[in-house]
Amino acid sequence: MAAVTAHRTETLPCDILIVGAGIAGPAMACALRDRGYSIVQVEFSDRPLDTARGDHLQCVVVELLEQWGALQAFWAAGGEKRHGAQYFTDKNELLLDVPYAGLPIPHPYYLYLHHELISQTFLKLAAENSRYTLFRPARARDFDIGPEGIRSLTLKLPEDQTAPDGFVPGQSVVIKPRMVVGADGRGSRVREVLGFETSTHDYENPLVVLFGPRPELDPLNRVTTFMSANGTISRIPRAFGEWKIGLPIHKSDIAFWKTATPKMRKSAIVARAPQLENIDAEVGGFYPVKLLNTNKWVHGNTVLVGDACHAMHPARGQGMNVSIRCVSKLVNLLPDVGEMADSDIVTRRLRAYESGVKPAIDKVLADNHVRGEEMDSLDADLIARSAAAMRVINADPELLRRYRLQSAGYADALGAPSPV
């Protein structure tokens, strides 16, 4: 990038502007790092992302990481393997056992790593592209928009932060992209300025997430979910020897969880799962849960990805995984770098992506909503019905095989990855 004089406005043309560096944006920059595009990424937050969000990458996503030459970097960052999931009643009856071993897939395990390290690992790989620039922290706000999409984004770099090489704090930069990816999450500014219609559903009960040390190591590192008349609760392995505990609670109980002593927390956990009596866990955060779907993804040269266009309930551990899988489909459809100057080709490819993938995502969201409503419920009858449905799956080898494949990220509406 050209050297600039302090406080002058610079114009920065690029092939692809990515707004947001949570998960979907970094995954996109990583997947494209050796395809020759000039890429500019803008992220407003200067701190690591919230660690309590998704940290388990599905088997199908591990396959994608391998296709992108990224898998080794995830092991080097501390990634660990999870070999299954199990569901129990609070009386220790096994309802459903979901092992991945034996499935006809290349990587029959989940890879788990702290959420912020997943993002950072993608970003580190993205920076291998000599034509990549990350503005962080910088908020994308001032877009110039026309019928052809986003013409430019004017950024004001913060005075008190370091700027990327070739830029200086406090200056303005006018980014002129050939294509724009809105990967700016649930509150997307890109979605807002494009005026897409958005339907949402607020789940009644927030989730509370707790962290604690993991002394008793399960060699298979399984997620275990316990279902009782008092609600469900999940014990999720975290990298570096921790558990994450997640449970839906009544809004009115937030105050309890904020002020509870370790003893009070433990007895609330044990009320749902006596099996967790040895867990010592501190509250990590509270999460209101929302479903969000947009009527479209593409306007001219601009496309939305990730939570910006499809946020879902964490019940199935899908949001981050689906975002990465969508990114993989999008990157496979992009024009080559030599074609990027042709805005008609760019728009046609983005529309092909939208018409090919959005119907599958609408279905994923509908299925996820059913599971989300179940997890959201603190109603004993509904929980008992979910438990009964699990027994049925567990007792039928064909249903169970399908469930295992779906949980691995195969055999759902999005299907298996396409070859690169």
Ligand X SMILES: Cc1cc2nc3c(=O)[nH]c(=O)nc-3n(C[C@H](O)[C@H](O)[C@H](O)COP(=O)(O)OP(=O)(O)OC[C@H]3O[C@@H](n4cnc5c(N)ncnc54)[C@H](O)[C@@H]3O)c2cc1C
Residues that bind ligand X in the complex, under the rule CB under 6 A: 19-25, 42-45, 49, 52-54, 56, 139-141, 183-185, 189, 207, 209, 287, 306-308, 314, 317-321, 323
Nearer to ligand X, 136 or 391 (CB): 136
| Smallest separation, CB 130 to ligand X (Å) | 23
Q: Residue 171 Cβ, how far from ligand X at the closest point, in Å? A: 17
Whole-number Å distance between alpha carbons of 35 and 317: 30
* DSSP run (H or E) holding 311: strand 310-311
Give the shortest CB-309-to-ligand X separation in angstroms. 9
Query: Between vectors from CA 297 to CA 296 and to CA 301, what angle results, nearest 5°?
Result: 125
- Whole-number minimum distance, CB 345 to ligand X, in Å? 26
Catalogue the E-assigned strands of 192-297: 198-202, 207-213, 223-228, 231-238, 242-248, 282-287, 290-294
Q: Which residues pair with 267 in a beta bridge?
A: none
> Using CA of residue 268, residue 208, residue 79, residue 71, what is the dihedral sign?
positive
Residues 323 and 312: beta-carbon distance below 8 Å:
no
Beta bridge partners of 208: 247, 286
Which C-beta is closer to ligand X: that of 238 or that of 265? Answer: 238
Tokens of 356: 């090919």
The two three-digit tokens of residue 99, written as one number: 């092992």
Question: Based on CB atoms, which residue is closest to ligand X, 156 or 402?
Answer: 156
Task: Identify the residue whose tokens are 């997943």.
Answer: 118
CB of 183 to ligand X, least distance (A): 5
Q: Are 312 and 372 in contact (CB under 8 A)?
A: yes
Cβ distance to ligand X smaller for residue 221 or 321: 321
CB of 341 vs ligand X, minimal distance in Å: 26
Q: What does the block give as tokens for 308?
A: 């910006």
Instruction: Examine residue 13 and say whether the peptide bond preceding it is cis (omega within 30 degrees of 0).
Output: no
**CA 414 – CA 416 distance, rounded (Å):** 7
Please state, in angstroms and as integers, the Cα–Cα distance from residue 301 to each residue in 15, 127, 139, 150, 346, following that order: 11, 24, 20, 7, 6
Nearer to ligand X, 246 or 335 (CB): 246
| Shortest CB 155 distance to ligand X, Å | 9
Contact 265, 257 (CB under 8 A): yes
- Residue nearest ligand X (C-beta atom): 22
- The distance of closest approach from Cβ of residue 121 to ligand X in the complex, given in angstroms and rounded to an integer, is 14
In terms of CB distance, is 272 or 335 closer to ligand X?
Answer: 272
Shortest distance, CB of residue 381 to ligand X, whole angstroms?
26
Q: How far is CA 31 from each of CA 26, 40, 84, 95, 235, rounded to the nearest angstrom?
A: 9, 14, 27, 39, 32
